[in-house]
Structures are given as C-alpha cells and as structure tokens.
Amino acid sequence: MQMSKRSFSRTVGLLACLAACSVALTSQALASDTHRCGTFHAKGAEYGVYIADGHVNCGAATGILKAIASGKGKIVNHGSSANSYVLYRGWLCPFGNMGEQTCEHSSHPVNNPTEDIASLSCSIERSCPVRAAFPNE
C-alpha cells in the first residue's frame, strides 16, 4: 500500500506534533512535582514543606510557612478571600486552601512567580506526602 506525498506529510506532521506535545506535558509535570524538604508544627497540626519553584532554602521556606500558619504577616483585604492575601517578609501568601498554603516571593500577585513555596497539612493516618504536585501559579 502506497501513501500519497500529501498523506505522508500529514502523518509525519502529526507524529512530530504528538512528540512535541508529550515532551512539553512531561516537562510541565516534572516542573510542578516536588519533594518534601521538611516539616513544621503550628496550631497543633503538622505540615510538609515543599519548594515548588526557584532556589529557596528549605529552612527559610519552613520559617515563612510556619509564620503564616501561626497567623503572622500583614493581611491585604481586597473584599473577598479569593482576592486577598497575607504579606510576610517579601512573600505573598493567598489565603490557605483546605490544608494547602502557597506563597510566592513577590509584593503583589504575579502570573508566573520565579520562587514559589507551599505547605500541605499532614494526615494522622498517612503522614506528610513525600511528593506533591502544585499548579504553576
């Protein structure tokens, strides 16, 4: 069975597109998947600490996230919790989301922060996850 030049070109183009898309999706998945670097306790609960983006020292990330979980920082209220956040030592932390807290190194919300840290609440049954995925903010 012979393929026409046009069919062959389409097939090659489709395969190239699929290969490029799979590489892009794999790179994105790897960029958002991170290992736990530490833990902390605040208000009677344990939290895992993760560096989602950038080169942030685990000790610094732990201190920032523990301070936020303990209620420290300046609340910036823009009328609703979806548009409000806490500022702490140069880090912007949107209000927590059911056991998850993210913070970006910025004084105002940005679409793609270069430094992004997060904490997850640890369950009593399973402890803190070793790996976690965070969407790029």
Burial label for 86, CB within 10 Å (0-12, 13-18, 19+), is buried
Q: What is the pLDDT of residue 85?
A: 94
In terms of pLDDT, which residue wins out, 92 or 5? 92
Q: pLDDT tens across 49-68, in order?
A: 999 999 999 999 999 999 99
What's the chain's average pLDDT? Answer: 77
Q: What is the pLDDT of residue 4?
A: 55
User: Could you state, in order of their start, the residue ranges of all structural domains in the chain?
Assistant: 34-133
pLDDT higher than 60, residue 91: yes
Helix ranges (H only) for the chain are 5-32, 58-69
pLDDT higher than 80, residue 20: no
